Structure formats: C-alpha cells, structure tokens
A = this chain, B = another copy of it.
Amino acid sequence: MEDKAQIQEAIKSQGEVVRKLKSEKASKEQIDEEVAKLLELKAQLGDDGKTQFVLKTPKGTRDYNPKQMAIREKVFNTIIRCFKRHGAETIDTPVFELKETLTGKYGEDSKLIYDLKDQGGELLSLRYDLTVPFARYLAMNKITNIKRYHIAKVYRRDNPAMTRGRYREFYQCDFDIAGQYDAMIPDAECLKIVHEILNELDLGDFRIKVNDRRILDGMFAVCGVPDDKFRTICSTVDKLDKMSWEDVKKEMVNEKGLSEEAADQIGEYVSMQGGMDLAERLLQDHKMSQSKQACAGLSDIKLLFKYLQLFHVTDKVVFDLSLARGLDYYTGVIYEAVLTQASAVSAANEAQNGANAEESVSVGSVAGGGRYDGLVGMFDPKGRRVPCVGVSIGIERIFSIMEQKAEASPEKVRTTEVQIMVASAQKNLLEERLQLISELWNAGIKVGVWQGGVRTDQGGDTVNNPTLRVWVPCVSTRGSSVAALSGL
C-alpha cells in the first residue's frame, strides 16, 4: 500500500511538471519526455488502481436522467420539425473519423480534439463538429446538392463550465445547404431557421449578429494587418464577446505584434453595428471601399438583408463588424445568435432563490454558422468546390435554460407515457393481471403496473394525472375485451 501511495505522489508531482512545461510553452521534445515519464508511472499503478475507484462520469460529461431526456426530446422535436419544414433530409456519420480528416480544419482549436489510442490500425479522433464530417461525406459520395440536418454529439477537450451548459461531450443540431444557388438565398434561409427555432423554443429575446469573413479580411487589409496575420488577428477579434476592447487590443499589439495604429483602426470598425444602412455606408467608406473583398461582402450583406425583410426577420438581425467566429473554414457570411435577456430563466431563478440571477444566465451564443465554400474541396482529390452554408444550434445551453425553467415550474415533467395503471391490492390475481396487461399491450396501450406495492412506472406523476385510469382486475375482468380502450 505504501508503494502505491508513493507512486501516486510521484504521479501528482510529475503531472505538475508537465503542466508547468506546457504553460511555459516548452519545446515539444522536452514535454514529450516528461509525459513519457508520467505514463510510465501511471502504468506502474496498473490494476492496483482499482481500489481507488471513483464512481463518476468522465470530466465534462454527464448522464441524462429521464426528466432531462423528456425535456431533450421536446427540444429536439421542435428543432427537427423546423428542419423538416424546410425540406431537409438527415444523415449520420461515425463518432470518430480518421485523424487526418480533421487535421488542418480548426486552426488553434485543433488542440482540443480527442484522439483515440493507437491500438493497431488506423489513427482515429472523435469528431469535433458535424461540419467537417459533412464535407467529408459530400466529397466521398460526390454529392453537389443537398439540404440536410444532422443531430449528434461532438467532442471537445475544452475547459468545461457545466452550470453554463458547456460540456466536453455535447449535442449539435446542424442544418446545412450545399450546392450552387443565387447569392444569399440559402444564407437567408439559415437565418430564418434560427429565427423560427428560437421563437418556438420561447427562450426570451434574442439577437442574431451577422458579418462576413470577406469584410473582416478586407478590413484587416485596409487597416494594415500583414496577410499572414489575418487568421490570428481574427481569433483575437473573436474574443470581443468575452474581453474588453482594451484587452483585445493589448493581445493584438503585445502578443501578436500588430502596430498600435492598425489596432486602433480595427477598433473603430469593430465598434460598428447596424443593418442594411451600415452596409451601404461602408460601401462608401473611403478606406473600406479600397478592398474588393470587403465590397463583395458588403454587397452580399445588403442582399441578405433584402431577403430577410421578405422573411420578416430583420427585427432580430444586426450587422456587427466585431463578429469573427474562430473556425478556420468560413469563407463568407458568418452569424451567431445570442440571448439578450433571459427573462424566463431569471424570473424562474428569482422565484426560486429570491436572488438576482443575472450572472447565472449568461449562456452566451445559442446558435452559429456561416458559409464555407472551400471545405468540401479540401477533401476532393481534384479540389472540386461545393459551396455550402449552414447553422448549428447550440442545444446544451438551451437545455440548461429549459431545465431551469422546468425546475421552477409547478408542473411535473412526465417521463413515461403510461395511459393505464394495472394494480391489485395484494399479490393475488397475478395470472389475471398478467393476462390483462398482455391484452392491453397487444392493443397498443401504454401500461404501468403496481405489483404488490412496487410501482414499475417511475414517472412520478401517475397519481395526479387526470387522464390516467387505474384498473384493478377482479375475476370478472377475465376475458374482458380491451378493444373499447384502444381509442385512448
């Protein structure tokens, strides 16, 4: 036992050595060397580790209990109904991809990818989103035109913040349109979808920010950002929703080596918000109008707003030059939806805790997406491009809100759909009960059972449910027809 404690102590301190080296950005060789020592120590523990057994789910993950599943099902149904209304088909892809399929698609976020252990055979990684597998699917099957949705779990070795709905395993609900269309028509449809879903889920007021990668790139160019710094400066701009402009500027100048002047010019632009009018104004802007790219983006933003007017959704959409989005693969329009108030939740929280719940409701972005015209081409052996635009609903944050709402509501969440309870006071009449239940099942009726005091229906709401009938069979029910009940 003492040996083991010593090894565990050694593991702990070796872990700290590794963490320190990583935070100091030490050389890869140096880190690898220390990691190897750590692994060796862990291996020494071997099977003895069993006594240290902890009953938990992995860090950043959770189980869903029946109540949470009932809420999840409701949210999914709303979303799927919307996707189907828009004529989408659905596909599914494996939870892991060849490691190389994911390589070079996520920029700085790549370090968050989960790899599988090399157990012989292919090197695999868990999917990081549903967009890259979708692009791989299109290229592999030579599909150039599809409107599809995909609802599945994705994996990110991020710092979890589970109370705010940030997990390492989480659902994404993606809707994408691939194919050649008139400019901005599928893009407008994606925004319409976000509008429909957030409206239907009734989560309180929201705002959809819109921008365009070409406008960002054009802006960087006219502000004097060197070409090779576009991506990294873009990542920094992306932090504006979490950091103040001062801190963002500091990162640009001190860490990324941008000139103070360029940073200040960027600062002017990224403070701008508006609608079609802003796009028109920027098309006249003496600096911005020098960039062809920016002008192309601005004209598309104008067109987009025209279609959004036809869809009657401009009330929620704002053209916001600070929106950047971290992922590498976007090429055109980008967007992100945020809840601007969380009235339902804060009211619920206040009712429950009597506290001002403002802090607890900063759930952040609940949907995001954009145009990625180059991604499919990265997979095609001949580089054939398939223009794509899509949106991903960040469902975990929505679950968090819905769960809080359900907690605060006096209404109980039903976790079964039981229509009839079959019961008997004691353990007698067992055969009659079983026969009756079997008849009910065969008639398609959802049955719960009380068996000698044990209720097999755990819905927790059967007693107070007015639509639920309780049947206590007696000898006379033998042979009774349940056909009359099948209308239930």
Q: B122 contacts A115, CB within 8 Å? A: no
Residues of B within 8 A of A441 (CB): 85-86, 192, 196
Residues of B within 8 A of A412 (CB): none
Residues of B within 8 A of A431 (CB): 310
Residues of B within 8 A of A57 (CB): 93-94, 97-98, 140
Partner-contacting stretch, out of A175-183, A240-248, A366-374 = A175-183
Residues of B within 8 A of A235 (CB): none
Partner-contacting stretch, out of A145-153, A250-258, A316-324, A329-337 = A145-153
Which of B19, B53, B94, B438 is within 8 Å of A100, CB to CB? B53
Query: Can you list, as one digit per residue, whether each of A129-154 has a CB less than 8 Å from chain B (1) or not (0)?
Result: 00000001101110001111000010
Contact A50 B185, CB 8 Å, known A88-B416, A416-B88, A441-B196: no
Number of interface residues of A (CB under 8 A): 106
Q: Does A444 contact B (CB under 8 A)?
A: yes
Q: Does A9 contact B (CB under 8 A)?
A: no
Q: Does A63 contact B (CB under 8 A)?
A: yes
Q: B55 contacts A139, CB within 8 Å? A: yes
**CB interface residues, A 424-461, toward B, < 8 Å:** 427, 430-431, 434-435, 438, 441, 444-449, 451-452, 454, 456-459
Query: Whole-angstrom distance from the CB of A448 to the nearest CB of chain B?
Result: 4
Q: A89 contacts B458, CB within 8 Å? A: yes
Q: A66 contacts B91, CB within 8 Å? A: yes
Q: Does A12 contact B (CB under 8 A)?
A: no
Q: Does A480 contact B (CB under 8 A)?
A: no
Q: A39 contacts B118, CB within 8 Å? A: yes
Which of B65, B116, B123, B417 is within 8 Å of A116, CB to CB? B116
CA distance in complex: A54, B103 (Å): 13
Residues of B within 8 A of A182 (CB): 427, 430, 451-452
Q: Does A269 contact B (CB under 8 A)?
A: no
Q: B55 contacts A379, CB within 8 Å? A: yes
Q: Does A307 contact B (CB under 8 A)?
A: yes
CA distance in complex: A427, B182 (Å): 9
Q: Does A271 contact B (CB under 8 A)?
A: no
CA distance in complex: A177, B145 (Å): 46
Question: Chain B: which residue is nearest A445 at the CB level?
Answer: B85
CA distance in complex: A118, B58 (Å): 13
Which of B114, B188, B381, B451 is within 8 Å of A55, CB to CB? B381
Query: Whole-angstrom distance from the CB of A100 to the nearest CB of chain B?
Result: 6
CA distance in complex: A192, B447 (Å): 14
CA distance in complex: A447, B456 (Å): 43
CA distance in complex: A457, B89 (Å): 8
Q: B95 contacts A169, CB within 8 Å? A: yes
Q: B61 contacts A96, CB within 8 Å? A: yes
Question: Chain B: which residue is nearest A421 at the CB level?
Answer: B87
Question: Chain B: which residue is nearest A73 at the CB level?
Answer: B90
Q: Does A286 contact B (CB under 8 A)?
A: no
Q: B120 contacts A85, CB within 8 Å? A: no
Question: Chain B: which residue is nearest A85 at the CB level?
Answer: B446
Q: A103 contacts B50, CB within 8 Å? A: yes
Q: Does A222 contact B (CB under 8 A)?
A: no
Q: Does A18 contact B (CB under 8 A)?
A: yes
Q: A117 contacts B120, CB within 8 Å? A: no
Which of B63, B92, B100, B124 is within 8 Å of A69, CB to CB? B92
Q: A95 contacts B95, CB within 8 Å? A: yes
Q: B61 contacts A89, CB within 8 Å? A: no
Query: Whole-angstrom distance from the CB of A189 to the nearest CB of chain B?
Result: 9
Q: Does A42 contact B (CB under 8 A)?
A: yes
Q: A91 contacts B119, CB within 8 Å? A: no
Query: Can you list, as one digit per residue, whether each of A57-79 has a CB less than 8 Å from chain B (1) or not (0)?
Result: 11101111110010010000000
Query: Whole-angstrom distance from the CB of A254 to the nearest CB of chain B?
Result: 28
CA distance in complex: A90, B42 (Å): 37
Q: Does A121 contact B (CB under 8 A)?
A: yes
Name the residue in A63, A100, A103, A451 with the highest tally of chain B Cβ atoms < 10 Å from its Cβ: A63
Query: Can you list, as one digit per residue, whether each of A197-229 has a CB less than 8 Å from chain B (1) or not (0)?
Result: 000000000000000000000000000000000
Which of B59, B119, B145, B179 is within 8 Å of A114, CB to CB? B119
Residues of B within 8 A of A63 (CB): 91-94, 137, 140-141
A-B contact pairs, 18 of them (CB 8 A): A55-B379, A56-B98, A57-B98, A58-B124, A66-B89, A66-B91, A69-B89, A84-B446, A87-B456, A88-B416, A94-B169, A95-B153, A96-B169, A116-B126, A145-B458, A147-B456, A181-B451, A196-B441
Interface contacts beyond A307-B434, A310-B438, A311-B434: sample of 6 additional A-B pairs, CB < 8 Å, sorted by A:
A65-B141, A85-B445, A87-B418, A87-B449, A87-B457, A89-B415
